[in-house]
């Protein structure tokens, strides 16, 4: 390809950075004068919004994922997996990210107390981890889901492209990069049902036709009509979901979960009902909800949590740390006197790994870790307590003492 | 940034099948090639596949290059051809399905402009990537993801303190055109600069 083209691209960038030498300014001007298309490109790049949009696009390509696929074609070299070029390119920022992680480590401590970093002190120096301490790192989950439409169509929503879909009742569905949106305006005829499934290592958002906002955590699903008709709004969920229900006193909102039912009028709450967790927890942030199961019913207030145990008993816990329950919505893992098994269940869902125990610590963990980091970062932080160590082999994670 | 002292050393290592060299070339051009290809094909997943194939060919054929720009030309020419092939195939496919949508391959002039554009975006992107850690992340969040200061604080687990009284000192430090062209909000920049300067401002956000 023509080298000049790269050169003019470079000139444009230099101009944007304000680093153009006088001779170069002349060259750029000549180029701009040569064609209206050149001028149009120049104008576009000067606009803050379009530059941000283009950078976002540039940032969005799946460099890691494609590399993983290519890596399988690489010739064996010294018989090991060690040749991960990320070590070179990311070296600089990994190092600093580790330091940031170190400040989080300080919050992880024994029993039920926190160690605080004194603001007047420098963060404790942490020796740099050996570059390939974990040879098989695993990137965090991303925005992805599968939409099952009423005619049996399955639409992959991978957080990469926006699309518009049409249901048979005429309702238009907007599939954005991280959210699926339904619009009440266009529907006709009887109710049509869709299901949104989020796999492990995924999360997604849904905006229902009444304006209710739903967040779905990894390994979760929701079944709902494209438009709510009749006297109530009802959805069925599995896994973990967070709701911000649009107020409509004339049409109560019902959430069915594992046979139990949550009735609301307009409120914010989180439902955790994973099949491998012993208790179904409904945590209320705002408003009021009634949870019923097996003929029992309780109404809870903000800051309270309704719990349905394995044997079907319904209890209420007060003074719940809602920040902790909702940490996933805000992009964090939040541990509070959390046992290793519970910690690892969250890791399993978000990184899609299988966890095996060689040893189980009885200590519990406290702290808050961002979710958008590689699994090795999570493990380094947990390892800093000295209670656990981890080994990654493919998608299998072994927990050691 | 890389472990090779010069272009020639990198090219030699690449020729000898050194995986680290291959990885470095990949990191150098992957995003730009995808961006270039997507300008032609209009589809991100397609462009990622095309670029993957281009790199796979580099791996299989071990072509000889005399300079890094020779390698770059080879990568871009391959990506360009594959992208145009895709458009042609898609056009036939659509014609056979009686779809009205008409996909004509872009003119050479237009493809050239895609390349110019990709180079300009790459240069700005690299500028951001080269900032040291907390600063880069803040710039990315604010500029690329469009997040507010509060959202960034929350996302990064940082709290900002006593920013006001140290403003003027900070602004002098970062002399990229991102400021000159008003591409960043001053508040973000100042926070960013302060973080660079004083680690004690890094306070865990509980």
- Residue B197 confidence (pLDDT) above 70: no
Instruction: Identify any residues that bridge with A215 across adjacent strands, giving them in sequence order.
Output: A205, A242
Does B80 touch chain A if contact means CB atoms closer than 8 Å? yes
CB B137 within 8 A of CB B153: no
Q: Are strands A396-400 and A354-357 parallel, antiparallel or unpaired?
A: parallel
- Which residues of A107-229 form beta strands (DSSP E)? 142-143, 145-148, 154-157, 163-166, 172-175, 179-182, 193-198, 202-207, 213-216, 220-225
* Residue A374 pLDDT greater than 90, yes or no: no
pLDDT at A105 over 80: no
The strand pairing partners of A164, in sequence order, are A174
Averaged pLDDT for residues A301-310: 91
Instruction: Quote the CA–CA distance of B188 and A111 in Å, as a whole number.
Output: 38
Q: Shortest Cα distance from B92 to chain A (angstroms)?
A: 23
C-alpha to C-alpha distances, B25 to A29, A86, A167, B22, B33, nearest whole angstrom: 32, 12, 45, 5, 12
Contact B35 A62 (CB under 8 A): no
A75-79, A196-200, A236-240: segment of lowest average pLDDT: A75-79
Cβ-nearest to A120 among B2, B124, B200? B200
Residue A73 has its nearest CB partner, among B56, B77, B176, at: B56
To test the contact with chain B by mutation, choose from A3, A4, A9 the residue with the greatest count of B C-beta atoms within 10 A, namely A9
Looking at residues A33-38, what average pLDDT do you find? Answer: 93
Kindly tell me if the per-residue pLDDT of B36 is higher than 90.
yes
CB B83 within 8 A of CB B50: yes
User: A67 contacts in B (CB within 8 Å)?
Assistant: 23, 26, 30
pTM of the model: 0.47
Size of interface A-B (CB pairs under 8 A): 210
- Measured CA to CA, the distance from residue A237 to residue A224 in angstroms comes to 9
Among A9, A61, A331, beta carbon nearest to B115: A9
Q: Tell me: the pLDDT tens digits for B145-167? A: 777 666 666 666 555 543 333 33
CB contact under 8 A, A57 and B134: no
Contact call for residues A359 and A387 (beta carbons, < 8 A): no
Q: Which residue has better confidence, B178 or A257?
A: A257
Nearest C-alpha in A relative to B177? A17
Q: Is the ipTM of this complex over 0.95?
A: no
B94 interfaces chain A, CB cutoff of 8 Å: no
Identify the band that residue B205 occupies on the pLDDT scale cut at 50, 70 and 90.
very low
Whether B197 has its CB under 8 Å from any CB of chain A: the answer is no
B85 touches chain A (CB under 8 A): no
Nearest CA in chain A to B26: A67
Q: Which residues, including other chains, have CB under 8 Å from residue B107's CB and lie 6 or more apart?
A: none
Residue of A3, A12, A88 with shortest CB distance to B2:
A88
When CB atoms are compared, the residue of A52, A96, A119 closest to B203 is A119
- Ranges A46-50, A224-228, B74-78: which has the least confidence: A46-50
Interface check B3 vs A, CB under 8 A: yes
A1 compared with B205, residue with greater pLDDT: A1
Give a three-class secondary structure readout of chain B.
CCCCCCHHHHHHHHHCCCHHHHHHHHHHHHHHHHHHHHHHHCCHHHHHHHHHHHHHHHHHHCCCCCCHHHHHHHHHHHHHHHHHHHHHHHHHHHHHCCCCCCCCCCCHHHHHHHHHHHHHHHHHHHHHHCCCHHHHHHHHHHHHCCCCHHHHHHHHCECCCCCHHHHHHHHHHCCCHHHHCCCCCHHHHHHHHHHHHCHHHCCECC
Handedness of CA B23, B29, B32, B35 (dihedral sign): negative
Q: What is the mean pLDDT of residues B108-118?
A: 93
- B119 closest CA partner among A45, A64, A40, A93: A45
B123 and chain A in contact, CB less than 8 A: yes
Tell me which residue has tokens 């009284």: B165
Mean pLDDT of A38-54: 85
Report long-range pairs for A225-228 (Cβ below 8 Å, ≥24 apart): A225/A191, A225/A192, A225/A193, A225/A194, A226/A167, A226/A169, A226/A171, A226/A173, A226/A182, A226/A187, A226/A191, A226/A192, A226/A193, A226/A194, A227/A169, A227/A171, A227/A182, A227/A184, A227/A187, A227/A191, A227/A192, A228/A191
Task: Specify whether the CB–CB gap between A337 and A364 falls below 8 A.
Answer: yes
For the cut 60, the answer to whether the pLDDT of residue A298 exceeds it is yes
CA-closest candidate to residue A68, choices A92, A85, A93:
A85
Mean pLDDT of chain A: 80
Interface residue of B204, B205, B206 to substitute, partner A, most A CBs within 10 Å: B204
Which residues in B lie closer than 8 A to residue A9 (C-beta atoms)?
115-120, 122-123
Q: Please, which pLDDT band fits residue B195 given cuts at 50, 70 and 90?
A: low
Partner-chain contact A119 B136, CB within 8 Å: no
């Amino acid at each position: 390809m023509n080298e000049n083209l790269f050169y003019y691209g470079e000139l444009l960038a230099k101009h944007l950075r304000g680093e153009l030498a006088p001779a170069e300014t002349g060259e750029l001007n000549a180029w701009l004068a040569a064609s209206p298309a050149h001028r149009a490109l120049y104008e576009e790049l000067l606009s803050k919004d379009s530059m941000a949009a283009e950078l976002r696009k540039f940032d969005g390509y799946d460099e890691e994922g494609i590399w993983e696929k290519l890596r399988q074609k690489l010739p064996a070299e010294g018989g090991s997996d060690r040749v991960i070029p990320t070590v070179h390119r990311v070296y600089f920022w990994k190092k600093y990210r580790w330091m940031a992680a170190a400040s989080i480590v300080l919050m992880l401590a024994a029993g039920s107390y926190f160690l605080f970093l004194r603001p007047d002190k420098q963060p404790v120096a942490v020796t740099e981890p050996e570059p390939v301490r974990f040879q098989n790192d695993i990137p965090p989950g991303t925005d992805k889901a599968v939409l099952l439409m009423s005619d049996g169509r399955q639409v992959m929503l991978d957080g990469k492209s926006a699309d518009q879909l049409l249901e048979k009742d005429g309702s238009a569905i907007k599939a954005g990069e991280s959210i699926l949106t339904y619009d009440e305006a266009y529907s006709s005829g009887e109710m049509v049902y869709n299901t949104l499934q989020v796999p492990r290592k995924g999360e997604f958002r849904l905006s229902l036709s009444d304006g209710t906002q739903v967040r779905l955590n990894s390994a979760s699903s929701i079944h709902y009509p494209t438009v709510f008709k009749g006297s109530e709004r009802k959805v069925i969920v599995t896994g973990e979901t967070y709701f911000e229900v649009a107020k409509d006193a004339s049409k109560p909102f019902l959430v069915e979960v594992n046979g139990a039912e949550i009735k609301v009028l307009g409120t914010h709450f989180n439902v955790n009902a994973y099949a491998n967790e012993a208790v179904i927890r409904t945590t209320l942030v705002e408003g009021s909800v009634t949870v019923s199961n097996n003929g029992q019913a309780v109404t809870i207030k903000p800051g309270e949590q309704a719990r349905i145990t394995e044997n079907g008993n319904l209890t209420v816990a007060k003074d719940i740390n809602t920040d902790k329950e909702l940490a996933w919505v805000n992009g964090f893992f939040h541990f509070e006197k959390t046992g290793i098994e519970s910690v690892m269940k969250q890791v399993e869902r978000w990184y899609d790994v299988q966890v095996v125990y060689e040893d189980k610590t009885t200590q519990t963990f406290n702290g808050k870790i961002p979710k958008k980091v590689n699994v090795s970062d999570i493990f380094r932080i947990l390892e800093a307590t000295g209670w656990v160590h981890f080994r990654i082999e493919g998608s299998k994670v072994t927990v050691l003492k | 940034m890389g472990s090779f002292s010069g272009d020639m050393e990198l090219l030699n290592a690449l020729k000898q099948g050194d995986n680290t060299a291959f990885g470095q070339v990949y990191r150098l051009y992957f995003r730009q090639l995808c961006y270039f290809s997507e300008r032609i094909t209009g589809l991100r997943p397609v462009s990622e596949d095309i670029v993957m194939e281009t790199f796979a060919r580099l791996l299989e054929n071990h072509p000889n290059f005399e300079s890094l720009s020779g390698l770059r030309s080879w990568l871009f020419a391959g990506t360009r051809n594959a992208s145009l092939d895709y458009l042609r195939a898609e056009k036939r496919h659509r014609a056979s399905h009686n779809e009205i949508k008409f996909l004509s391959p872009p003119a050479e002039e237009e493809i050239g402009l895609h390349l110019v554009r990709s180079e300009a975006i790459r240069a700005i992107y690299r500028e951001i990537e080269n900032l040291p850690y907390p600063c880069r992340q803040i710039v990315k969040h604010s500029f690329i993801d469009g997040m507010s200061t509060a959202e960034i604080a929350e996302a990064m687990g940082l709290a900002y303190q006593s920013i006001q009284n140290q403003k003027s000192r900070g602004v002098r430090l970062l002399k990229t055109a991102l400021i000159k062209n008003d591409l960043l909000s001053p508040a973000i920049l100042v926070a960013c600069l302060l973080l660079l300067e004083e680690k004690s401002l890094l306070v865990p956000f509980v």
